[in-house]
Amino acid sequence: MVVPLRAGGRTFGSLMLVSADPTRLYDEEDLDFAQHLARRAAVAVDNARLYRAAQERARAALVVEHVADGVMLVDRDEIVRLWNPAAERITGLTADEVVGHRAEFVFPSWRSIAPVAASSRTAAQTQPVEINGRELWLSLTGVAFEGGTVFAFRDLTAERAVEHLKSDFVATVSHELRTPLAAIYGAALTLRREDLRLAEPQRSGLLEVIATESDRLARIVNDILWASRLESGTMHTVIEQCDAVELARSVVDAAAQYVPPNISLSFVAHTDVPPVAADRDKVRQVLANLVENAIKYSPDGPPAERERIFEKFYRLDPNLTRGVGGTGLGLYISRELVQRMGGRIWVEARNGRGSTFVVELATA
């Protein structure tokens, strides 16, 4: 005798009863008993299935809540039904502001995002998305199902900015290296010419060009090496008692040898400055970077750029429109070195009279 297992309006199995006595015949009473037993069994099985499904949904919800990627569920009417905490962090929009609204309310460029889920095999697509007036670069994937579409997205805005800066850095360094190399090569070729008699002032001038451009080339390579050592973690500091006044004086005296005529350098120090606990060579490098930048960008260095000048690869004049060279690494290196010595470095405006760079180090 076989009776169906029915629950919740669905038939999902059957119950078979077999008698060991081949002569026995089932009657209506046996059928009623079997059906009653099947109903109870069906309810028990259905409850177990519902409990398991609830557990799976709870686990899925927990994962969605804690996953690092933003997750958005859009139904077939393009209404947002799910917006996880990561999506809030990435976009700055809370679930209360998003859930229940149309997707195009959240993403004005929704028509370029929706096709991402056209195929379940579609790879992640990176595209710019405007949210509340901000441009974010998001890596998006989407999977469509019967009830709508699930989108996952990751914020690549910072990574893209770094890639852009790296590209600018490569172009800048290529330009910066080409200029001194061309000058050195040209001066050396002129000195080697046997058909050209050079007076002593001319020879001295060409040798000065070679020496000056070689020093410039060494500074460029030195910046790159410092940055590489900082990135790889191989930069070590030796903290000792240092005379900050003498270090600063030596840096200013060295810079005075190449300062252009329209720039004046002065050195002022209090008489009671205590020794500092720092790495002598690192402090000298930091101060040299600051003085060199002051010479480059005086008197009209852009005040609006103060917030970004300590970023890696950032240059005030990326297109070289002002003829100011450099790798864009000097202030980044300075910040990293000061922090590794337990200090702070920052810049302050002086009411339209330029900027003051401050390096703070612990006393010995």
Encode pLDDT of 172-214 as tens digits: 777 778 878 888 888 888 888 888 888 888 888 888 888 888 8
Mean of pLDDT over the chain? 83
Among residues 167, 147, 172, 141, the alpha carbon closest in space to that of 71 is found at 141
User: How much is the pLDDT for 343?
Assistant: 94
Short-list 193, 168, 209, 185, CA closest to 318: 168
Token match 């810049």: residue? 347
- Which long-range CB contacts under 8 A does 37-46 form with residues at least 24 apart? 37/3, 38/3, 38/4, 38/5, 38/6, 38/14, 39/6, 39/7, 41/5, 41/15, 42/5, 42/6, 42/7, 42/12, 42/13, 43/7, 45/5, 45/7, 45/12, 45/13, 46/7, 46/8, 46/12
Pick the range with the lowest mean pLDDT from 16-25, 66-75, 125-134, 304-313.
Answer: 304-313
**Residues 207-260 pLDDT 10s:** 888 888 888 788 888 888 888 888 788 888 899 999 999 999 999 998 888 888
pLDDT tens figures, 34-73: 999 988 888 888 877 877 776 776 676 666 677 778 888 8
Is residue 142 pLDDT above 90, yes or no? no
Provide the residue ranges of all domains of the chain, joining segments of one domain with +. 2-65, 67-155, 161-360
pLDDT at 309: 81
Give CATH superfamily name and number for 67-155. Answer: PAS domain (3.30.450.20)
Q: Domain 161-360: which topology?
A: Heat Shock Protein 90 (3.30.565)
C-beta separation of 53 from 17 below 8 A: no
Two tokens at 111? 């028509």
Per mean pLDDT, which range of 144-153, 163-172, 284-293, 299-308 is the poorest?
299-308
Helix/strand/coil (H/E/C) assignment for every residue in the chain: CEEEEEECCEEEEEEECCCCCCCCCCCHHHHHHHHHHHHHHHHHHHHHHHHHHHHHHHHHHHHHHHCCCEEEEEECCCEEEEECHHHHHHHCCCHHHHCCCEHHHHCCCHHHHHHHHCCCCCCCEEEEEEECCEEEEEEEEEEEECCEEEEEEEECHHHHHHHHHHHHHHHHHHHHHHHHHHHHHHHHHHHHCCCCCCCHHHHHHHHHHHHHHHHHHHHHHHHHHHHHHHHHCCCCCCCEEECHHHHHHHHHHHHCCCCCCCCCCCCCCCCCCCCEEECHHHHHHHHHHHHHHHHHHCCCCCHHHCCCCCCCCCCCCCCCCCCCCCCCCHHHHHHHHHHHCCCEEEEEECCCCCEEEEEECCEC
Peptide bond into 299 cis (omega under 30): yes
pTM above 0.75, yes or no: no
* Confidence tier at 335 by pLDDT (50, 70, 90): very high
